[in-house]
Chain A
Amino acid sequence: MTRLRGARGIGALDALRFSLRALLAHRLRSSLSLLGMSIGVAAVVILTALGEGARRYVVREFAGIGTNLLLVLPGKTETAGALPGIGGVPHDLTLDDAAAVARLRGVRRVAPLASGTETVAHLQRRRQVAVMGATAEMALVRRLEIAHGRFLPPGEARRGSPVVVIGQGVARELFPGEDPLGKAIRVGGERMKVIGVLAHRGVQLGVDMDEVAIVPVATGMRLFDRSGLFRLLIEANNRRDLPALQPRVVALLAARHGEEDVTVVTQQAVLSSFDRILRALTLAVGAIAAISLGVAGLLIMNVMLVSVSERTSEVGLLKALGAEGGQVQLVFLLEAALLSALGALAGLALGWAGVALLLHLFPKLPATAPPWAQAASVITALGSGLLFGVLPARRASRLEPVAALARR
């Protein structure tokens, strides 16, 4: 039989059985502190699962729009020191810029984007939607699919034709039970012909793609009364080219504008900063939940202190019967360890049940507790249980047998 170090004599199984019996003798007290511990662990599991779910959701969203993208934003937002606006108004990002960028080596396609909000109307039905001024490339870059009709035809960039592609939601709203193809709607102040309806996509990067209207970019700029683009989406031939391509895009636009007045970010950079933020958030939420584990540890200490003072004469007896101080300490410490271990296990089960419920209620949020959080919560539970169990156990082991026996 295994012998435990520091407590010669008693077998591990016997010590465990002795401690377990002591816990079972006080079912209510034991189960309450067990409950405290398990709620702590479950809180860590569920909260980190939420955080991780949010992170994965965002990552998935980004993946939906392609991974080898560069975004060009007008204005030098990353300039250290100088505020935007100081040192001259940035030049507009133009369609000529887009065409020039498209000629760069390593660029597969460029999708210029103008953006605004307009009222769309058909007969008496009207609706406020996000309007995107785009080109045929947009469908490819953002992986948009068409349900009926077609997307903006190629080569429409500068022409500003009065055509529009609408989202599913817009189509349903303006044309209930009707086919919108070929019908005219009003977008802002202009009449336009519906040439296509987007396939259902849902919310992507905060924009509900069912609730948009897409018009040719020149039409969009006219509608919004803008001379510049909102941004350029550049798709590289492949992902490896992105780091090299980024400075070349910056250099090209700087040469065209006479100064460096654009910001070029990789979609990957945006993604990884989101990723970092959400990971930090998950960690923070997990840490807050871990505090409850510490509290649960205190609860265990309290239970153990009560147990020790209640069983003072038992400790004296054990010593009179020939139990060593180390053995007494061991059986009390084992009680604390059992409480926290069982609490941690129950907490994991509770946490998993909670995550399963979350998945059921919010199927779009891929909530999963990260393994590190689960491991950390169990380790913290055991650690705090043991840490807070040491004090009562030492107190028990130091009781003088005579003094302990004298109390009845």
Chain B
Amino acid sequence: MIRLAGVSRTFVVGDQPVHALVDVDEHIGAGEYVSLMGPSGSGKSTLLNIVGCLDRPSAGCYTLDGREVQHLPDAELTAVRRHTIGFVFQFFHLVPRLTAAGNVELPMVFAGVERAERAQRVAAALAAVGLTDRAHHRPEQLSGGQRQRVAIARAIIMRPRLVLADEPTGNLDSVSGQQVIDLLEELNHHGLTLIVVTHDPNIARRAQRVLVLADGRIVERVRGADLHPDLLTAR
């Protein structure tokens, strides 16, 4: 599903070029569950943004479902994000003035889904994350875990095939974090490709594969179950 060949991403900060990603080659199959680990500034988020079509590689080739996305025009990238990819963020990124239902509905509003169908799908998605009774609460009236579950419902509302989660448990206590991870893994069991960026080795090791980044390169590829105990303490 995802094929990265020689992907680099260079930012210019001041006059200095910063190499956020250097020559990354990777293949992630449909239905896989992959964790990205690495210290801050190692390029995890940059990689996730490129995979999520929020950013383009400076060099190299990124193929998603057989299409080379780095050259697609903006409008088509938008369409790819809309229909293929769901995002979950560390800081939830819910629109504060909209209710839980309103937030979940948002991608469908911009995709022009009919109102009646929207209501149905919102109800189903909120039920799937166990928040039916919170549908009409605004984000400020929800706990962190509930907010992240709303965000997950929103991420899957357009029925994407790829869910990208950037430190989804980073702002949650362990119980809520566990619920969120359970939800994401359940999606994976239903066939969605899942990529999770995390600092937490206990979460990372649950994935089938763990990619460890350092200085913009993938320095280690391990099966989740084999994640070395050193990593648990070192990072």
Max count, chain B CB within 10 A of own CB: residue among A3, A10, A318, A322? A322
**A14–B111 CA distance with the chains assembled, in angstroms:** 11
- Which A residues are in CB contact (< 8 Å) with B74? 325
A18 interface contact, C-beta 8 A: yes
CB neighbours of B91 from chain A (8 A): 408
- Of A20-28, A174-182, A344-352, A384-392, the one with at least 4 CB within 8 A of chain B: A20-28
Contact between chains at A322 and B55 (CB < 8 Å): no
Most chain B CB inside 10 Å of its own CB: which residue of A11, A320, A401: A320
Q: Are A11 and B112 in contact (CB under 8 A)?
A: yes
Please name the residue on chain B nearest to A321 by beta carbon: B107
Determine if A25 and B110 form an interchain contact, defined as CB atoms under 8 angstroms apart: no
A314/B110 in contact, CB under 8 A? no
Question: In the complex, A405 Cα to B112 Cα: how many Å?
Answer: 23
Query: Interface size of A by Cβ–Cβ distance < 8 Å?
Result: 30
Contact present for B112 and A9 (CB under 8 Å): yes
| Set B49, B93, B97: member contacting A21, Cβ < 8 A | B97
Quote the shortest CB–CB distance from A208 to chain B (angstroms).
Answer: 64
Chain A, residues 304-321, CB within 8 Å of chain B (1/0): the string is: 000000000110111111
> Does chain B have a CB within 8 A of A1?
yes
**A405 contacts across to B, CB distance below 8 A:** 54, 89, 93
Q: Are A322 and B97 in contact (CB under 8 A)?
A: no
- The CA of A402 and the CA of B48, in the complex, are separated in Å by 11
Q: Does B154 contact A (CB under 8 A)?
A: yes
Contact A3 B112 (CB under 8 A): yes
**Separation of A319 and B81 alpha carbons in the complex (Å):** 8
- B29 interface hit (Cβ, 8 Å): no
* Among A14, A21, A320, A321: residue with most chain B CB under 10 A: A321
A contact residues around B115 at 8 Å (CB): 1, 11
How many residues in B have their beta carbons less than 8 Å from beta carbons of A?
29
Q: A residues within 8 A CB of B110?
A: 9-10, 318, 321-324, 327
In angstroms, Cα B155 to Cα A321, docked, is 8
Verify A323–B78 contact, CB threshold 8 A: yes
* A residues less than 8 Å from B81 (CB atoms): 319-322
Once the chains are docked, how many angstroms separate the CA of A93 from the CA of B49?
A: 96
**Would you call A364 an interface residue if the criterion is a C-beta within 8 Å of the partner chain's C-beta atoms?**
no
**A18, B103: Cα distance in complex, Å:** 11
Residues of B within 8 A of A402 (CB): 49, 54-55
* Residue B83 is within 8 A (CB to CB) of chain A in the complex: yes
B94 and chain A: residue at smallest CB distance: A317
Closest A residue by C-beta to B154: A321
* Chain B residue at minimal CB-CB distance from A327: B110
Q: Are A22 and B93 in contact (CB under 8 A)?
A: no
**B110-135 interface code vs A (CB 8 A; 1 in, 0 out):** 11101100000000000000000000
Check B172 for interface membership: any CB of A closer than 8 A: no
CB of B210 closer than 8 Å to a CB of A: no
Are A321 and B106 within 8 A (Cβ)? yes
The proximity string for A residues 373-402 relative to B, scoring 1 for CB distances below 8 Å and 0 otherwise, is: 000000000000000000000000000111
Q: A5 interface residue, CB < 8 Å from B?
A: no
Q: A8 near B: Cβ within 8 Å?
A: yes
Contact with B along A84-112 (1 / 0, CB 8 A): 00000000000000000000000000000
Contacts of B109 in A (CB 8 A): 10-11, 14, 18
Encode B39-53 as 1/0 by CB contact (under 8 A) with A: 000000000010010
Nearest B residue to A313 via CB reads B93
A13 to chain B, nearest CB (A): 9
- Given A321-B110, A323-B110: A314 in contact with B95 (beta carbons within 8 A): yes
Indicate if the CB atoms of A401 and B95 lie closer than 8 Å.
Answer: no
Interchain CB contact (< 8 A) of B107 among A3, A25, A313, A322? A322
B87 interface residue, CB < 8 Å from A?
yes
The reply to whether A317 and B97 contact each other, CB–CB distance below 8 Å, is: no
State how many angstroms separate the Cβ of A197 from the closest Cβ of chain B.
Answer: 75
- Asked if B199 is at the interface of the complex by the 8 Å CB criterion, the answer is no
CA distance A325 to B73 in the complex (A): 12
> Residue B95 contacts which of A3, A8, A317 (CB distance < 8 angstroms)?
A317
CA distance A323 to B110 in the complex (A): 6
Q: Within the complex, what minimum Cβ distance (angstroms) separates B141 from chain A?
A: 15
Using an 8 Å CB-CB cutoff, how does the interface string of B78-103 with A read, 1 for contact, 0 for none? Answer: 11011100010101010111100000
Q: In the complex, are the beta carbons of B96 and A25 less than 8 A apart?
A: yes
Please report the C-alpha to C-alpha distance between residue A25 and residue B87 in the assembled complex, in whole angstroms: 25
Given contacts A320-B87, A401-B54, A402-B55, contact A24 B107 (CB under 8 A): no
Chain A interfacial positions (CB closer than 8 Å to B)? 1, 3, 8-11, 14, 18, 21-22, 24-25, 313-314, 316-325, 327, 400-402, 405, 408
Could you list which residues of chain B lie within 8 angstroms of chain A, going by C-beta atoms? 49, 52, 54-55, 74-75, 78-79, 81-83, 87, 89, 91, 93, 95-98, 106-107, 109-112, 114-115, 154, 158
Q: A21-B97, A317-B95, A321-B154 are in contact. List 9 more A-B contacts (CB 8 A).
A: A3-B112, A9-B110, A10-B112, A25-B96, A321-B106, A324-B110, A325-B74, A400-B55, A401-B55
Instruction: Give 15 A-B contacts (CB < 8 Å), ordered by A residue.
Output: A8-B112, A9-B112, A11-B112, A11-B115, A14-B109, A18-B109, A317-B95, A318-B110, A320-B54, A321-B81, A322-B78, A322-B158, A323-B78, A325-B78, A402-B55
